[in-house]
Every structure is written in C-alpha cells, then in structure tokens.
Amino acid sequence: ILLCKTLAVVDIDRGIFGWWLSRQLRNLVHGGICLSRLHGELGPQSSCGNVAYPPSVLRRRPLKSKTSGGDTTTLCKNIMLHPHILVTITGANRGFGRAVAHAFTTSSAVSPPSRLTLILIGRDTTALERVQAELKSETTKVVVVGDVQFDEIERTDEWLGKIQTAIEDVRETGPPITKAILINNAASLGNLSQTVARYNWRDIKHYTDINIVSFSALCSSFLSYFRPRTRSADDVHPFSPSLVIVNISSLLAIQAFPYWGLYSTAKAARDQLLKVIALEEASNDVKTLSYAPGPLDNEMQRDVRNTLGDMEQKELYTKMHTEDSATKLVNLLLLTEAGFSSGTHIDFYD
C-alpha cells in the first residue's frame, strides 16, 4: 500500500528522476505480484527458498507487466534454485571422456540437493550404455546420444539435431538447468609417422573435418541454443543457465614438436576459437577453457607410443594420470571456476 501511495506522488513529478523512480517502483510492485502468483501455484513450501521448480513453471510464458511492458525473467532467475548442472561430453564412451564423466558424479559440488545430468556422446552406442549403467544414481541422470560420427561431416546437421533434442528433453522433463557445460573431448591423432612433407590434401581435409569443423559446429550450436539472439513471446525457458565451453587441448597447441603437424594445428585452432568466444560472449554469462590433460593412459596414448616417429618423445608418455587429470578439470569447473579467466589455456601441470 505504501508503495502504491508513493507511485501516486511520484507520478505528479514529470522530471526525469520522477519518471525513473516511478518505473522502478512499478516493477517492484509487479514483481511482488508475480512472486505471489508463483507462490500460489507451487505451494507455500516453495516461496523464496532454494527451489527446484517443476517443468510446469518452465512451460509458462514469462509473466508480463501491464504497466511497464517489461518481463520478470530476471526476477524469476534471481530466485534461488537448487543447482542443476548439465554436462555434455563428446567421446564419452572410453578414455578421458569416461573418466571426466565419473569425476563429475563423485564431485562434492554435485552432492544432494544438487542435480547432475550427463549427456554422453560418441559413435559406439553400446559402449556409451555401459558407461551410463556405471554412472546412474538418484541425483544423476545419464542420457546417451550414440552413432555420432564426427568424421562424416555431411551428417553434421543430423547429429547436431540429436544432441539438441537430448538437451531439450532434459529441459522439458527436469528442474531448471542452472549451469550447462560442453566438454569437447572427441578428437583424433592423425598419422604420427609422417612429417608435413608427406601429407596429401585429402588427409588434411579429412582430419580438419573431424577436429576443427565438427568442433566449431558443435560450439556454435551450443551457444545459439542457449543464447538465442531473438526470443519469441512463446519462449518456454525463462531461466538461462550460465555456460562453460571446454576444449580438451594439449601442450602441442602452444608448443611445436616434430610429427605432430595436423594435431598441433587442430588443437591451436580450437584454443583460438574459444578465445574468440570468450571475447564475444564476455557479457553473456559464458566462459571458455582449454584444458591440456597431460599424457593419459588410454587407447589414444597407446596409439601414440606405437606410431610416433620420434623415439625421444615416446618417453613423455610413460607416466600416466587419467583419473587425477579428470578430477582436476572437474574441480576447475565446479569448485574453483572463479580462479580461471575465460579463454585461458590451463595444463594439468600448472
């Protein structure tokens, strides 16, 4: 009542300060009405505490103000929610991708009442389903998106659509997502027995399709889905999660070694793309990170030891630490996120 009386007084003053204050007070009054409506729909236990709102609220249009023309998206977003972290991992059926998925499920940052949803992406559906069975729990939902062939670039629209459908299903059937993380782990080595002088253009194109084109397409799709440049009046997702895009990088992105020409080129390109995204999305609650996990005890590193043409370099791949490196990455993303600058490159040994 006091606010409404104040509005009546302020409306008499047509000065710029009176106009500004009038709008702020109207929005505040309208915000109180909106909260009351939400409170009534969700029950008395859901008023302004840590609330994980059900899908019915997500499917409503943002509440509109008749007086100011504004919406309450920002207001609703500021209501405290139980954390619901969505993590999408490519190449999740084995090796470092699988280790990262396990590290998320054991992190203290996603203990109850927090929720964790993992979307595991790869070419081998059966292997992904085995990982899915390992990870499921009461607080963790695991979704599999199989038969994703990053080397078949002509099918890009198909697998991007499958990934987006999986994310959409999570948003429709679960509590609001408060943080969405994309981990680009899938990559290939190329032929490490050849120097640059022995490359042919077909091999170069095939390699860049897998490691640069598909990577760039997935990052772009992820951003455009969660940060559409225009919103329709029928937008059913008033809550916009914070975003983090991760590139599983390498020391070779910043330091040259013989026989690693294509691999180094792709890793450097991916690092640079995330630096550009960090600048472009700096004010849009988006962060990027290139993380070099160090030598890992997985199938890819066994291939390195078997095929690398430089004998001295093989000694670098004798000490492996897959689980430790995965845990460090998850801690960076969930426990110490404020400790890294968006766009930065961090090595396991840093």
140 has a pLDDT exceeding 80 = yes
Q: Would you state the pLDDT for residue 111?
A: 81
CB 149, CB 159: distance < 8 Å: yes
* Predicted local distance difference test score (pLDDT) of residue 227: 94
Please give the residue that has the higher pLDDT: either 112 or 314.
112
Q: Give the pLDDT confidence of 224-280 residue by residue, as tens digits.
A: 999 998 766 666 565 789 999 999 999 999 999 999 999 999 999 999 999 999 999
Cβ distance 76 to 62 under 8 Å?
A: yes
Model confidence, pTM:
0.74
In the prediction, which pLDDT does 310 show?
A: 59
Instruction: Please tell me which residue, 168 or 338, carries the higher pLDDT value.
Output: 168
Amino acid found at 163: I
Cα 120 to Cα 86, 127, 152, 197, 200: the distances in Å are 11, 10, 19, 37, 33
- Domain ranges for the chain: 80-296+325-347
Lowest mean pLDDT among 108-112, 151-155, 236-240: 236-240
Residues 318-331 have pLDDT tens digits of 555 556 899 999 99
Return the CATH fold of 80-296+325-347.
Rossmann fold (3.40.50)
Tell me the pLDDT tens digit for each residue of 185-227.
999 988 888 999 999 999 999 999 999 999 999 999 999 999 9
Q: Which residues pair with 289 in a beta bridge?
A: 246, 344
Reduce the DSSP state of residue 116 to 3 states and report it: strand
Collect contacts of 149-158 with beta carbons under 8 A, ≥24 apart. Answer: 149/123, 150/90, 150/123, 150/186, 150/209, 150/210, 150/214, 151/188, 151/206, 151/209, 151/210, 153/209, 153/210, 153/213, 153/214, 156/213, 156/214, 156/217
Query: What CA–CA distance (Å, rounded) separates 205 from 310?
Result: 24
Three-state DSSP at 323 gives helix
Reduce the DSSP state of residue 92 to 3 states and report it: coil
Q: CA 226, CA 232: separation in Å to the nearest integer?
A: 14
